[in-house]
Amino acid sequence: MAQQFSFDIVSQVDLQEVDNAVNQAKKELLTRFDFKGSKSSIDFNKTDKKIQLIADDDLKLRNLQDILKMRLSSRKISTKAVQFKDPEKAFEGTLRQEVNLVVGIAQEKAKEIVKSIKDLKTKAQPSIQGDQIRVSSKSKDELQTVITFLRNNPPDIPLQFTNYR
């Protein structure tokens, strides 16, 4: 029997690095002149995997988003890993915005990725396993082709390739 090789496609975020990025953003928020005397804040809830932004107005909210994106990217976290919800009115005329962290591959997105791998016409076999995708083949070259294809045509979520066997 020929040996079967495989790897997993996952979408994970290092929560400790997110926490570090949020703490750096908080420090920057305290030192920036345009946020002096403002009610703006950034909070991270690790258990819910959500970041909450609070700002006085729309301009400060956009600045908070930019600070957060910059700090995340400096920590090697893809900005595709965050989804900004619509801002909503909060207490005392402030704006509140929730930011969700994308962890795991959603079923619809997994189906799209599997379809694109099958459209490559390789002998690699993708299969959805919960919130990850396992790709297996008898040839390591086929697996490398799949990885190269996904790196050159990335979906709108961050992907990592793990568990090579």
Q: Tell me: the pLDDT tens digits for 17-40?
A: 889 999 999 998 888 888 888 888
Cα–Cα distances in Å, from 123 out to 95, 126, 135?
A: 51, 10, 10
Q: Would you say residue 85 has pLDDT above 80? A: yes
3-state secondary structure of 3: coil
The pLDDT, as a whole number, for residue 24 is 92
Answer yes or no: are the C-beta atoms of 97 and 52 closer than 8 Å. yes
Q: Pick from 120, 127, 123: which is nearest to 148 by CA?
A: 120
In CATH terms, the fold of domain 15-101 is Alpha-Beta Plaits (3.30.70)
Token pair belonging to 35: 């946020």
Q: Would you say residue 1 has pLDDT above 50? A: no
Token pair belonging to 73: 């990217």
Q: For the domain with range 5-12+104-162, which CATH number is right: 3.30.70.860, 1.10.150.80, 3.30.1950.10, 3.30.930.10?
A: 3.30.70.860
| DSSP per position, 138-165 | S-HHHHHHHHHHHHHS--SS--EEE---
0.85 exceeded by the pTM?
Answer: no
CA distance 9 to 59: 38
The pLDDT, as a whole number, for residue 2 is 57
**Rounded to the nearest 5 degrees, what angle is found at the Cα of 52, between the Cα atoms of 12 and 81?**
25
Domain boundaries along the sequence of the chain: 5-12+104-162, 15-101
